[in-house]
């Protein structure tokens, strides 16, 4: 049976949810300024009966395509969902031009619960269709590029400047860019250091098997400590070391800041990275390495030319997990003065400004999704390359 041989109940449910969201929840809110609450506007208030009829017709077409037992119908549904996502920013541009009075400099548009729910439902439908059609990485990344270009074009044109989220960004653009760079550098440092330490631990456990149980036990204990508790545990010893050794203080090592954040994030990253590295190296088939030795390869050549390339896809999974985990946990490190995008999240919570929270949270989510997709695609590509190589060798 082909992947599209039966009606898609998931897509049908998502279509019903989209209809409920569009008709029952406010899509946007118009705020006179940053402090005063906005007035929620539904689809009926924004476009009247014509807009409601157009949306219902579109959703009925999507439901009909989900019911069709053909691959072509699901491909058409994918194109339709992708078109809706691509046009969503431009719909906001049109709404902003109609709802915001140019004379009201402080007026802004907030994204309502209905719009966030609709975006979530559309993304779920997109993922469902991509998985059901079993498309390769090239169409997936191509579709992602189209959606990103549509959003960036709407942003570059200035049509979304009246959004409350964009008002928060424009008021803090320099600080935002600095926090974004800091967040990325911190995560890159965590992943790089964790990779080196995990590789050393995995090789040591392979050489001395008695280290395995103790090493994994220690790493598991570190993984169970809550992040804020670990930051607190590091505060006193790092403050003492900074006071005892002035050169550490000159480097910026103290009880708060980047040093405890880096140490804590590396500690959390070691278990998934080390486990994947150890399992990947250990599961390389013995007959493959024996054949390499039989061909006259030295132990170093066997490792670098045979064992490591075969283990790389599984090791990339560990790097992917570590990177995504570090991207999220780095936001919590803002509580100890480590900076990064988490600063905006906690500032927004303190000021009850949800758009400021989103200014920090949305880039973190986007970066995590991009990193996850990139490493997953790279690992899948390596597996396919190895599969083709095995097929050619067998032939």
**362: closest CA among 345, 350, 374, 340?**
345
Higher per-residue confidence, 288 vs 92: 92
pLDDT at 50 over 80: yes
Model pLDDT, residue 390: 55
CA dihedral sign of residues 225, 231, 232, 234 = positive
The architecture that CATH gives domain 173-394 is Orthogonal Bundle (1.10)
- At 65, list the tokens: 């395509």
C-alpha–C-alpha distance, residues 357 and 351, integer Å: 10
pTM: predicted TM-score of the whole model, two decimal places: 0.83
SS3 215: helix
Q: Are 198 and 277 in contact (CB under 8 A)?
A: yes
Mean pLDDT of 252-261: 79
Residue ranges per domain, the chain? Answer: 9-164, 173-394
pLDDT at 70 over 70: yes
Count the residues in the chain. 395
Model pLDDT, residue 1: 42
Please give the full DSSP string across 222-273, using - where no structure is assigned: HHHS-HHHHHHHHHHHHHHHHHH-HHHHHTT-SSSSHHHHHHHHHHHHHHHH
C-alpha–C-alpha distance, residues 366 and 184, integer Å: 12
SS3 109: strand
391: confidence class by pLDDT, cuts 50, 70, 90: low
Secondary structure, 3-state, 7-72:
CCHHHHHHHHHHHHHHHHCCCEEEECCCCCCCEEECHHHHHHHHHHHHHHHHHHHHHHHHHCCCHH
């Amino acid at each position: 049976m082909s992947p599209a041989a039966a009606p898609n109940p998931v897509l049908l449910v998502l279509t019903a949810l989209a209809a409920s969201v569009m008709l029952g929840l406010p899509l946007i809110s118009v705020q006179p300024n940053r402090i005063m609450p906005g007035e929620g506007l539904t689809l009926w208030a924004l476009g009247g009966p014509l807009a409601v009829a157009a949306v219902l017709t579109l959703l009925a077409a999507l439901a009909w395509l989900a019911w069709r037992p053909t691959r072509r119908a699901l491909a058409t549904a994918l194109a339709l969902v992708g078109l809706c996502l691509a046009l969503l920013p431009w719909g906001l541009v049109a709404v902003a031009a109609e709802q915001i009075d140019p004379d009201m400099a402080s007026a802004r548009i907030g994204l309502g619960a209905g719009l966030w729910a609709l975006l979530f439902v559309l993304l779920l439908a997109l993922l469902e269709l991509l998985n059901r059609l079993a498309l390769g990485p090239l169409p997936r990344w191509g579709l992602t590029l189209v959606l990103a270009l549509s959003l960036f074009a709407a942003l570059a044109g200035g049509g979304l400047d009246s959004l409350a989220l964009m008002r928060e960004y424009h008021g803090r653009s320099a600080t935002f860019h600095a926090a974004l760079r800091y967040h990325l550098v911190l995560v890159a440092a965590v992943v790089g250091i964790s990779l080196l330490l995990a590789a050393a631990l995995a090789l040591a456990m392979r050489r001395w098997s008695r280290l395995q149980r103790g090493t994994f036990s220690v790493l598991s204990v570190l993984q169970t400590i809550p992040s804020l508790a670990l930051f607190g545990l590091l505060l006193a010893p790092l403050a003492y070391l900074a006071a005892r050794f002035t050169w550490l203080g000159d480097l910026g090592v103290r009880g708060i800041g980047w040093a405890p954040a880096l140490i804590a994030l590396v500690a959390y990253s070691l278990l998934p990275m080390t486990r994947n590295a150890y399992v990947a190296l250990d599961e390389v088939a013995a007959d493959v390495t024996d054949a390499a030795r039989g061909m006259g390869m030295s132990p170093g050549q066997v490792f670098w030319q045979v064992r490591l390339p075969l283990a790389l896809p599984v090791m990339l999974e560990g790097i992917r997990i570590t990177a995504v985990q570090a991207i999220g946990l780095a936001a919590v490190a803002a509580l100890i003065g480590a900076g990064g995008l988490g600063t905006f999240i906690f500032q927004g919570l303190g000021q009850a400004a949800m758009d400021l929270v989103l200014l920090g949270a949305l880039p973190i989510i986007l970066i995590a999704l991009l990193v996850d997709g990139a490493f997953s695609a790279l690992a899948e590509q390596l597996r396919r390359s190895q599969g083709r190589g095995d097929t050619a060798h067998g032939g």
